[in-house]
């Protein structure tokens, strides 16, 4: 299993590709200092490595490489229809890194990207400048951890802290950090910012064991979330995506018992509930890479370019979870994807 302990930095990311244009960038130098034994390879553009044809996502994930680059072109994106806006009119996301150290079997990134290598865009200051330009016109709800798990990468790149410091300077900016991580080092040194929401994706342990490879256990995630709440940080619980498996109701019931035992539900910001759904094109690409995983070979219903569980099953799963949550929190705090 991969981990990000400091004494594991050298064998992890044995090769680092760097765009020549960012070779001397301060963030590049800071990241390279964590990997003194890595082989450094200069390139002209990250796509020369990342977008090569006939790559194997599954094979590359066993030996991921790191690519340091500059983000160019579009820096902010409008939120996709399959993502929840939590009532925000101006819902956007930023991609400051691509791909994840975790290996969840159902992750849409496997269908979205041609490579499993991780790209980190070191010109974060340009994304900050674009956010400030947008904030001149209207407030912003911004998700910055959709295309990776930033908190899981924090010991390497430190972007969660940078985003938190940036958000603290802008009253009309709200940031969401989506994660499956249990980074206690960060949590125990956190400076709470009222507009930075830590959103923990939670799954039954059976789902974690079967499909969420290399991720922390449910107990570890809940412990991390509880410590953030105690420290005064806004915390969101994301039961999204809900994954179907045999005896799913019992698995989710057991999970909720554990959640209610550890998390002071009256102190959370809100919760999201949503069953698994994915772009039809992404799913097609994922199935080419993996001919066996039950989670992506379910007989999904296709609608409007997206795949999701049949309506009856979808409604049954989401209603079950929502009704149980209503025993602990107000209905207004529960955001369902398909409602």
| pLDDT tens-digit map of 243-281 | 999 999 999 999 999 999 999 999 999 999 999 999 999
Is residue 88 pLDDT above 80, yes or no?
no
What's the rounded Cα separation, in Å, for the pair 20 and 43? 6
Nearest Cα to 105, choosing from 307, 299, 293?
Answer: 293
User: In the 8-state DSSP scheme, what is residue 129?
Assistant: H
Nearest Cα to 61, choosing from 19, 16, 4, 12?
Answer: 12
| pLDDT tens-digit map of 30-86 | 999 999 999 999 999 999 999 988 888 777 888 899 999 999 998 998 866 555 556
Q: CA torsion 207→208→212→215, rounded to 10°?
A: 170
Kind plus residue range of the DSSP H or E element containing 231: helix 218-231
pTM, rounded to two decimals: 0.92
| pLDDT tens-digit map of 131-146 | 999 999 999 999 999 8
User: How large is the C-alpha radius of gyration of the chain?
Assistant: 20
| pLDDT tens-digit map of 213-228 | 999 999 999 999 999 9
What's the rounded Cα separation, in Å, for the pair 137 and 147? 26
81 vs 172: which has the higher pLDDT? 172
**Percent of the residues in the chain that have a pLDDT greater than 90, as a whole number:** 85
Q: Determine the pLDDT at residue 63.
A: 86
What's the rounded Cα separation, in Å, for the pair 184 and 27? 23
């Amino acid at each position: 299993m991969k981990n990000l302990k400091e004494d594991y930095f050298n064998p992890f990311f044995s090769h680092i590709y760097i765009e020549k244009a960012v070779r001397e960038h301060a963030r590049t130098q800071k990241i390279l200092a964590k990997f003194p034994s890595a082989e450094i390879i200069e390139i002209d553009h990250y796509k020369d490595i990342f977008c090569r044809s006939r790559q194997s996502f599954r094979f590359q994930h066993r030996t991921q490489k790191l690519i340091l680059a500059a983000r160019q072109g579009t820096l902010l994106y409008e939120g996709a229809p399959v993502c929840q806006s939590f009532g925000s009119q101006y819902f956007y996301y930023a991609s400051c890194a691509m791909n994840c150290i975790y290996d969840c079997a159902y992750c849409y990134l496997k269908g979205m990207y041609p490579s499993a290598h991780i790209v980190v865009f070191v010109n974060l200051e340009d994304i900050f400048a674009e956010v400030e330009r947008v904030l001149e016109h209207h407030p912003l709800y911004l998700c910055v951890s959709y295309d990776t798990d930033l908190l899981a990468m924090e010991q390497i790149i430190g972007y969660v802290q940078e985003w938190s410091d940036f958000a603290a300077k802008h009253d009309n900016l709200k940031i969401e950090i989506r994660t499956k991580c249990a980074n206690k080092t960060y949590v125990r040194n956190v400076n709470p910012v009222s507009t930075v929401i830590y959103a923990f994706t939670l799954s039954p342990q059976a789902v974690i064991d079967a499909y969420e490879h290399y991720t922390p256990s449910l107990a570890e995630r809940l412990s991390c979330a509880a410590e953030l709440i105690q420290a005064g940080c806004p915390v969101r619980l994301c039961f999204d995506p809900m994954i179907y498996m045999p005896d799913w109701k019992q698995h989710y019931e057991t999970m909720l018992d554990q959640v209610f035992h550890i998390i002071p539900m009256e102190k959370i910001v809100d919760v999201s509930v949503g069953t698994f759904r994915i772009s039809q094109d992404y799913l097609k690409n994922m199935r080419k890479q993996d001919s066996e995983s039950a989670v992506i070979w379910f007989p999904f219903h296709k609608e409007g370019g997206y795949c999701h569980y049949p309506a009856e099953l979808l409604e049954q799963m989401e209603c079950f979870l929502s009704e149980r949550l209503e025993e602990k929190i107000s209905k207004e705090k529960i955001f369902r994807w398909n409602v």
